[in-house]
Structure 1
C-alpha cells in the first residue's frame, strides 16, 4: 500500500470511539486531523493519537495530506460535510445513512463521480463473518432458490441510553433511517438489489423522555414515524418483509431469516460483525450451525474504510456509496409509500458488492493484508 493513507475525521460523537479503536493503530491509514463543533472533543481525541491535529473543518478539508474524510457527523450534516470534502478533492467515507434525503444522496454520488473521488458508507458490519457467512450459504445453494426474507428490529427507543437522542426523532432519524441501513444492506448482500417497495408506518407518542446523562428527564418532541414496516421486492423475485420500531419492548424474532425452497437460514444481527448463522433444511428436526466461511473475522467499525483504501480505485469498495444510495432510496421510498398508500418502484440499481473471503483478524489488521483482494 505504500505510505499510510491520510484520513481526516469530522464529528467526534459517541460512534467515533469505535472507529478510532479500529483506525488509530492500523498501519494502512494515518489519522492526521480531527474536527468537531465541540473543540474540546477534537483536542482530546488528537491528544490520544500521535501525529494528529485538532482542527477546524475548513483547515481539515484544505490539508493536502488528508486523502479521505471520515464523516461521523449527525445525519442532518452528512450531505454538507461530504459535499465539502468532495469539492476539496477528497474521498469520503460517511456514517450511515448516506444523507437525510435521497436528492442529497444522489448529489453526493454525482459530485463524486464528476470529481473522480470515491465514496464509502456505513454500515460495514455486513462485511463481518455473520452476514458474509450467510451470504456464502445462499450463494452455495444451501437453501435452494431463495424465495423470501424477514428482517425485524424492535426496541423501546434510543432515548433510554443516548444522552443526546434528539436527532433520532427529527427528519433523518426514526427507526428506519437509523437502523434500517444495517438490515437493508444485509438483505442486498444476501438477495441483491430492490425493485419496488410497499410500506406502512405509525407514531406512538408525540414526545420522548431522555433516560440517561445530564439531560435525564427532559422531554423531546417526536417529528417522525417510530414504527415502520413494509415489503421489499428484490430484482431476483424474492420478497423481504421488514419491520423497524422504536415502539416495542422486545422481540423473539431472528434479526433476519432467509427462506429458500430447501432450507431456512437464520442470520445474526447485522448491527454486529459476527454471530451464529443457523440452517434448518427441509426434513430436519433441528437447526445446525453454519461455521464461519466468509467475512472479516472479529471485524470492527472502520473496516469499510480500510476496505475502500485497499480497493485503491481498482474495484468498487464493498461498503460503497452506490449501495448506500440504493439503501437510502429504498428507505425514503418506503416512507413515501407509507404516506401515500401505494407501491412505488425505485429509480436506482446497485450490484451486490464483491463477497469478502474469510479473513483472519491478524490479516486484515496488517498493512498489506488487503492487497490480496485487489484485482490484478
Structure 2
C-alpha cells in the first residue's frame, strides 16, 4: 500500500497486548485489522474487547492482505522466529524487546529484512516519549555542560509477586538484565551514543522461585539467569555509566537515571515510562558546614510533547514508511542493545571487560512537535 492508514496485525494476545491495543486504537494513522495467538480463543477475546475485525492463529495475521506491520508480542525466545515469518510473508515487523536472545539469529533477521526491503523496529519505545526526548534536547542544548557519566538502578524483589506465570522472565532471554535492561541501555545509548565495552558481576540468589499469585500460586520454577547484575559501561564517545539490575532487593527502587555533566546533574524519568519530572541540580556555590542543611539550586526542565504509551515506536515507523524516512527505534539499534546486554552476561561469567562489537550510527530523535493523536497519512 502507498497511502492511507497503515494496517497492523498483532501476534501475541497476552498481558502486554492490552496496552498496545488500547493505544494503537487511539492513533489515527494506524488501523489494527487482526489479532492472532496460538490460543485462538484468547486472540478472539482481545479482538472483541478492542473492536478489531478479525482474529485467529498466527497465520491469520501473516496472511491478512491489509497488514503492513506485524506487532510481535510473543515471549523473547520466540521473537526471531515470529519476526522472520512475518518478513517472509512480506510484512514489516515491530517487535517487543529484545530483538532476540542470541546474536546470530538477530543479525540474520536484520539481513533478511534488508534483503526483502522491509523494516524491523524494536522496543522499547519509551525512549521516544516526551520524557527522555526532552532530556535529550536539554543535553544537546548544553544544559549540563559536557555529559560525563550516568548512574542507573533497577532493583526490587521480582515479578513473581504479581505475574501469574513468571517463569519465562527468569529463563534465558529474561531476568532483570534482559527483561529490564533494554529500557536502561536504550536510554543510555540515546543519550551517550553507542557502547564500546562493558564489565559486570552477576549472582543468582537461588536456584528456584515460587509463583505468588494466580492459578499457579505455590508452584516452583527454575532460575536460569543471574538475578543481580552490576555493570560498568564505556561509551564510544567517552562517557561512562554504572548500573544495577536486581530482583533480589527488598528495597524497591525503579527508574533511577541520573546524567552527571560538567555543569550539573540531570535527573530523568523512569525509562520504563514515557514521561515524568525532569530536573537539573546545579553545583553548590558555597561550602555548607553541618548541621546546616545543604542547599542546591534545582532547575525544572519542561517536558515537551504529547504523552501517550506503548505503540509510539510503531507509529513512528508507520509514518516513516509513508514518508520514506528512517524510523527511530530501528532493528540496528535493537541489535546493538542486545549485543550490549549479551556482552554484559559474558563479562559477568568471565570477570573481565568485554568489547561490544556492534555499533549504531546517528541515533535518531523525535521532534518536539510529534503528535501521536494527529492524522498525518
Specify the alignment match of 2:291 in structure 1: none
Specify the alignment match of 2:337 in structure 1: 327
Specify the alignment match of 2:159 in structure 1: 158
**Partner Cα separation in structure 1 for residue 280 and residue 245 of structure 2:** 24
CA contact (8 A) 1:148 1:239 kept: yes
**Partner Cα separation in structure 1 for residue 26 and residue 127 of structure 2:** 22
**Partner Cα separation in structure 2 for residue 346 and residue 7 of structure 1:** 34
CA contact (8 A) 1:189 1:352 kept: no
SS in 1 for 2:260: strand
2:360 to 343, 350, 353: 350
TM-aligned CA distance change 1:254 to 1:89, over 3 Å: closer
- 1:139, distance to aligned residue in structure 2 (A): 0.9
User: Which digits, 9 at most, give the CA deviation of each residue in 1:79-101, with x for residues without a partner?
Assistant: 10000011111100000111111
CA contact (8 A) 1:278 1:287 kept: no
CA contact (8 A) 1:136 1:293 kept: no
* TM-score (norm: length of structure 1): 0.93
CA contact (8 A) 2:157 2:252 kept: no
User: Which digits, 9 at most, give the CA deviation of each residue in 1:202-228, with x for residues without a partner?
Assistant: 100111111111111211111111111
Do residues 184 (structure 1) and 185 (structure 2) align?
yes
Do residues 365 (structure 1) and 373 (structure 2) align?
yes
> Post-superposition, which runs of at least 4 consecutive aligned residues in structure 1 deviate over 4 A?
251-254
**Partner Cα separation in structure 2 for residue 51 and residue 11 of structure 1:** 14
**Partner Cα separation in structure 2 for residue 318 and residue 249 of structure 1:** 36
CA contact (8 A) 2:98 2:178 kept: yes
CA contact (8 A) 2:39 2:57 kept: no
What is the number of residues matched between the two proteins?
A: 366
Specify the alignment match of 1:57 in structure 2: 58
**Partner Cα separation in structure 2 for residue 51 and residue 260 of structure 1:** 48
* TM-score (norm: length of structure 2): 0.93
Which deviates more from structure 2 when the two are superposed, residues 49-58 or residues 102-111? 49-58
Which deviates more from structure 2 when the two are superposed, residues 75-84 or residues 304-313? 304-313
1:267-278 alignment to 2 at 5 Å? 267-278=268-279
**Partner Cα separation in structure 2 for residue 14 and residue 242 of structure 1:** 28
Specify the alignment match of 1:374 in structure 2: none
Specify the alignment match of 1:28 in structure 2: 29
TM-aligned CA distance change 1:46 to 1:252, over 3 Å: closer
1:216-365 alignment to 2 at 5 Å? 216-251=217-252, 255-283=256-284, 285-294=295-304, 296-312=305-321, 314-359=324-369, 363-365=371-373
**Partner Cα separation in structure 1 for residue 217 and residue 357 of structure 2:** 43
CA contact (8 A) 2:156 2:254 kept: no
Q: Which runs of 5+ in 1 are unaligned?
A: 372-376
User: Which digits, 9 at most, give the CA deviation of each residue in 1:270-318, with x for residues without a partner?
Assistant: 0011111110122363352433344x42120001100001111632211
User: Which digits, 9 at most, give the CA deviation of each residue in 1:133-182, with x for residues without a partner?
Assistant: 21111111111111111111001011110001010111111101000000
Aligned-residue Cα RMSD (Å) equals 1.7
- 1:231, distance to aligned residue in structure 2 (A): 1.0
TM-aligned CA distance change 1:261 to 1:350, over 3 Å: same
**Partner Cα separation in structure 2 for residue 315 and residue 213 of structure 1:** 45
CA contact (8 A) 2:150 2:260 kept: yes
TM-aligned CA distance change 1:281 to 1:25, over 3 Å: closer
